[in-house]
Amino acid sequence: MRIVTWAIRLIVFVLLVAFAAKNADPVTLHFYFDLVWQAPLIVVLFVFFAAGALFGVLALVLPLLRSRREIAILRKRIPPEEPGRPPVPEL
């Protein structure tokens, strides 16, 4: 299974390098206030892909942190177990 995984990774890497080599033409992005950015197409694609991935991770992490904080607060509210009772298995 490891060999298959690494073979797939190698194929994807080679395809991405070939894609980058074919898309080395410069592109110009025009922003507001006459701000202009000129870079190779692959760089522009990578920057926007990385920014999208970062926003996606932030969108997942913030609710996760809120949930963990709420779980910690709720666990503090649980009364301690009585010694005579058998422990309840956690799910």
Flag whether 35 is in a domain. yes
Higher pLDDT, 75 or 87: 75
Flag whether 83 is in a domain. no
Domain total of the chain: 1
Query: What pLDDT is recorded for position 24?
Result: 83
Flag whether 1 is in a domain. no
Query: What pLDDT is recorded for position 23?
Result: 79
Query: What pLDDT is recorded for position 21?
Result: 84
Flag whether 4 is in a domain. no
Flag whether 67 is in a domain. yes
Query: What pLDDT is recorded for position 29?
Result: 87
Flag whether 42 is in a domain. yes
- Tokens for 53, please give them: 């991935």
- Region class of 62: left (phi > 0), else alpha (psi between -120 and 50), else beta: alpha
Query: What pLDDT is recorded for position 89?
Result: 79
Q: List pLDDT tens digits, range 24-78.
A: 889 998 989 989 989 988 888 889 999 999 999 999 999 999 999 999 999 888 8
Flag whether 69 is in a domain. yes
Compute the distance between CA of residue 20 and CA of residue 50 in angstroms, rounded to an integer: 15
Q: Give the residue numbers spanning the domain of 64.
A: 18-77
Query: What pLDDT is recorded for position 90?
Result: 78
Residue 82 has pLDDT above 70, yes or no: no
Flag whether 11 is in a domain. no
